[in-house]
Amino acid sequence: MERSHSLTTQKAAATRPTVLMRSLAIPRDDNTANGDSALSSNTSGFRNTATGAGTLFGNTTGPANTAYGFKALTNNTIGGTNTANGYQALASNTTGTGNTAVGNGALNANTTGGNNIALGVAAGSSVTTANNVIAIGSAGADVSDSCYIDNIHGATIDPATALAVGVDASGKLGTTASSRRFKHDIKPMDKSSEALLALKPVTFHKNDAKETPQFGLIAEEVEEVNHDLVVRDKKGEC
């Protein structure tokens, strides 16, 4: 088995320059540690990169993590394939895997959540155990399979040039073009328009803590009128 090497930065006396020591303490290969106590608890984790004091300090068996910044991923133990870039980014993470945190304090409260993405200072700071959360410039929330982007709600736009933005089943954002130049086989709806007249708008409250009153359509009722008007999720549900 190949010997592994770690580059450990140790504190020296105030009158001395920082001393870099080459060590063979880690029994698995491809670990790199640069900073006081960086990767100091590692036992069998491999292909980890820790740069900064306290980075990946608690890591024991977690593989393929990258931590850059003071105490980034410091409490990680067995979590793997995490990337933390910034002061205390992913600092509370223990077993969560596949997380990406860029920014000081990004995803700093996450413990076991996985496959989360946070970009910005304190982005995703409200996420603790949720999975598949995307937070851009926002604290987000501990709700799996959700996306939060700051500085959009309440921001005004030019209505003369504004377009409605939608998202398709693959997660792609875009706009729906209404111009004739993007279409062909254009025909009058004739009796097909009867389906639109058969729709029944309703008022309702969403099943969440806010209980905000809203109005719109019920997908199951729309499907009874015309199934082509309904888009299903990945589970095949309306």
Q: What integer pLDDT is reported at residue 58 of this predicted model? A: 98
Segment 91-118, tens digit of pLDDT: 999 999 999 999 999 999 999 999 999 9
Q: What integer pLDDT is reported at residue 5 of this predicted model? A: 47
Segment 187-200, tens digit of pLDDT: 887 777 777 788 88
Amino acid at the residue 236: G
Q: What integer pLDDT is reported at residue 14 of this predicted model? A: 38
Q: What integer pLDDT is reported at residue 237 of this predicted model? A: 80
Q: What integer pLDDT is reported at residue 108 of this predicted model? A: 98
What residue segments make up the domains of the chain, in order of their start?
Answer: 30-152, 191-225
Q: What integer pLDDT is reported at residue 10 of this predicted model? A: 40
- Along the chain (238 residues), what's the average pLDDT of each consecutive run of 10 residues? 44 39 51 96 96 98 98 98 99 99 99 99 98 98 96 87 84 83 81 79 84 86 84 77
Q: How far apart are CA 193 and CA 47, in angstroms?
A: 61
Q: What integer pLDDT is reported at residue 60 of this predicted model? A: 97
For every residue of the chain, DSSP letters joined together read -----EEEEE---TTSPPEEEEE---SSSS-EEESTTTTTT-SS--S-EEESTTTTTT-SS--S-EEESTTTTTT-SS--S-EEESTTTTTT-SS--S-EEESTTTTTT-SS--S-EEESTTTTTT-SS-SSEEEESS---S-SSEEEESS-TT----TTT---EEE-TT--EEE---SGGG--S----GGGHHHHHT---EEEE-SSTT--EEEE--HHHHHHH-GGG----TTS--
